Amino acid sequence: TTTHMRARALARARTPDLESSAYQNMIAGLCLAVVVILIFTNNWWLTALCALALYSIISLVFCEMVFFGWEVDILVAIDISIASGMSVDYVLHLAHAYNGETGDHADKVRKALKDMGVSVASGMLTTFFACIALFLCDMLWFRLFGCFIAMVIITAFAVSMFGMMSLLALAGPGDGQGEMPFCNKPMDAGVCKKKGEE
């Protein structure tokens, strides 16, 4: 129909600064995500490894978009803008779980996966199943958005559970390593405390 064709034409329309605006929003989201991770883990070492994981997730999602032939239009620009916000979820959960454990690198990873691994896997599965409804929609935007969410959550799950946790097992901060001194009073409500601390 004519309305559907107009909607597709609008979706394919490109403005001169659409692409740069989408990337600026994504970079701002990544920077905010790194700041949030630093605040909640109070550990610069762990935050640096999480930033590497986030960069890897975003890069892989962009590779997948290119592989599937997506071009930057209004719909894809919206997806790019929110990519960093959707990517940080599993990374932050696992990083916070790792940071709250004691022991050497491998022990902390094992305990963090035992505490948080099932929750992260369940979150990925329920979100993916919710995307199936979007795959079946007639509107282009909903279908593309469902595909985008599925790409992000599967990539974020794989990178955070396998890549980031393996990296933490090899080079993650041990007890007391990389901790920032400013957490002692402002975040003393339990967010930064290790298990067993009063």
In the numeric block, which tokens belong to residue 163?
A: 């890549």
SS3 16: coil
Tens-level pLDDT at each residue, the chain (198 residues): 566 565 555 555 555 567 777 788 888 888 998 998 888 888 899 999 999 999 999 999 989 988 988 887 777 788 888 888 888 889 989 998 998 888 888 899 999 999 999 999 999 999 999 999 998 888 888 888 899 999 999 999 999 999 999 999 998 888 778 787 765 544 444 455 555 554
From the number of C-beta atoms within 10 Å of its C-beta (0-12, 13-18, 19+), residue 141 rates as: middle
46 and 95 in contact (C-beta within 8 Å)? yes
User: Interior CA angle at 48 toward 72 and 96, to 5°?
Assistant: 100
Check residue 155 and give its pLDDT: 96
Check residue 158 and give its pLDDT: 96
User: Interior CA angle at 104 toward 110 and 120, to 5°?
Assistant: 30
In the numeric block, which tokens belong to residue 176?
A: 């007391």
* pTM: predicted TM-score of the whole model, two decimal places: 0.80
Q: Which residue has the tokens 């920077």?
A: 31
Length of the chain: 198
